[in-house]
């Protein structure tokens, strides 16, 4: 399709009547709060690829007041609808549905809301009480209004994605939820609408978030590579000791590292690798103020114990740099040796 500004619809009635070809083609939705960037564009492009040229891609732009704890944060959130229309259209969207607050909540704030449950009280939920209840409530409403076959969400908001998947499963929403890999700047910083609030020095400090995650990932990969060597070479502590007696200090150290390597790399070692980067950033000017660093089970966002030897995990981090709060995460798999 030729890139152009997407069609702007403001009301549920307009959206319900929108059908370019007169038929109900497969519909995908990408939900946003606007201020679209390349990360959002990646979601829209993925949606277009999935539904094909004959499908419909709807992008919602709605700054949801239920997700903001303080009115100042709500007022500060960037609103760039004209630019959003251009970005959405260029990425492959047919429609931008940008309803008013009164359109989404015609009777004022809803009395009945969706509860995020225990998972919604951890990490981001603990830092922002009520945030996930507000998020799930508006996502449920927008799913009803847009009636998609498939909905796309970014992996950067991993806890949000997990809660949406749980809501859809628990409440039998007839929609497929697809997570899309986090989009990053060339230097590793996760794309976010909030990045525009960082000045040059703050942005340099903020890079510690992604560097910490990558350091943890590399530590895990190194430990698992050593374990794979131990499996194939039969490295033992006795071999390391023998090399040491022969004066081969470097070979002995290598043999010892291989012999002691755990198949999972050790959750504690993964956390330590990330925390070392974050501790250094806390001493920078401006400093990074860590909110949390957590290695969690992607199913329920409970902490992974140090004795975990296998399975998937998410290493998540949140911190403030100046007045801007940023989050990031990376998926990890323990026990992989190939």
- Sign (positive or negative) of CA dihedral 65, 69, 74, 77: negative
**How far apart are the C-alpha atoms of 251 and 256, rounded to whole Å?**
9
Asked if 40 is an active-site residue, the reply is: yes
Residue of 37, 40, 131, 227 marked catalytic: 40
Give the strands of the sheet with 150-154, arranged side by side. Answer: 7-9, 95-97, 56-61, 27-32, 150-154, 176-180
**How far apart are the C-alpha atoms of 201 and 95, rounded to whole Å?**
38
* Other beta carbons less than 10 A from residue 143's beta carbon: 22
**How far apart are the C-alpha atoms of 289 and 193, rounded to whole Å?**
19
Give me the helices (H) in 171-312, please: 200-233, 237-245, 249-260, 267-282
- Cα radius of gyration (the chain): 23
Active site members:
40
């Amino acid at each position: 399709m030729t890139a152009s500004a997407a069609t702007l619809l403001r009301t549920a009635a307009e959206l319900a009547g929108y059908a370019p070809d007169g038929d109900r083609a497969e519909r995908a939705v990408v939900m946003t709060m606007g201020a679209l960037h390349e990360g959002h564009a990646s979601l829209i492009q993925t949606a277009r690829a999935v539904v094909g040229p004959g499908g419909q891609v709807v992008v919602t732009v709605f700054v949801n007041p239920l997700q903001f704890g303080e009115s100042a944060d709500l007022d500060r959130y960037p609103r760039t609808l004209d630019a959003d229309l251009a970005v959405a259209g260029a990425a492959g969207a047919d429609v931008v549905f940008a309803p008013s607050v009164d359109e989404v909540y015609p009777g004022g704030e809803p009395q009945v809301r969706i509860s995020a449950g225990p998972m919604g009280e951890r990490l981001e939920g603990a830092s922002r009480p009520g945030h996930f209840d507000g998020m799930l409530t508006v996502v449920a409403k927008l799913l009803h209004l847009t009636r998609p076959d498939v909905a796309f969400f970014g992996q950067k908001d991993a806890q949000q994605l997990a809660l949406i998947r749980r809501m859809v499963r628990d409440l039998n929403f007839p929609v497929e939820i697809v997570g899309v890999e986090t989009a990053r700047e060339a230097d590793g910083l996760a794309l976010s609408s909030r990045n525009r609030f960082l000045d040059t020095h703050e942005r340099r400090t903020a890079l510690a978030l992604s560097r910490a995650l990558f350091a943890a990932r590399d530590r895990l990969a190194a430990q698992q590579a050593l374990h794979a060597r131990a499996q194939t070479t039969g490295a033992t502590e006795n071999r390391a000791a023998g090399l040491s007696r022969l004066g081969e200090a470097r070979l002995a150290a290598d043999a010892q590292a291989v012999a002691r390597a755990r198949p999972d790399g050790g959750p504690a070692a993964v956390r330590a690798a990330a925390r070392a980067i974050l501790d250094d950033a806390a001493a920078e000017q401006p400093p990074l103020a860590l909110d949390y660093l957590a290695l969690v089970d992607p199913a329920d966002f409970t902490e992974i114990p140090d004795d975990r030897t296998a399975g998937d995990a998410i290493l998540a981090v949140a911190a403030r740099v100046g007045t801007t709060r940023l989050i990031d995460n990376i998926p990890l798999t323990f026990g992989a040796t190939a």
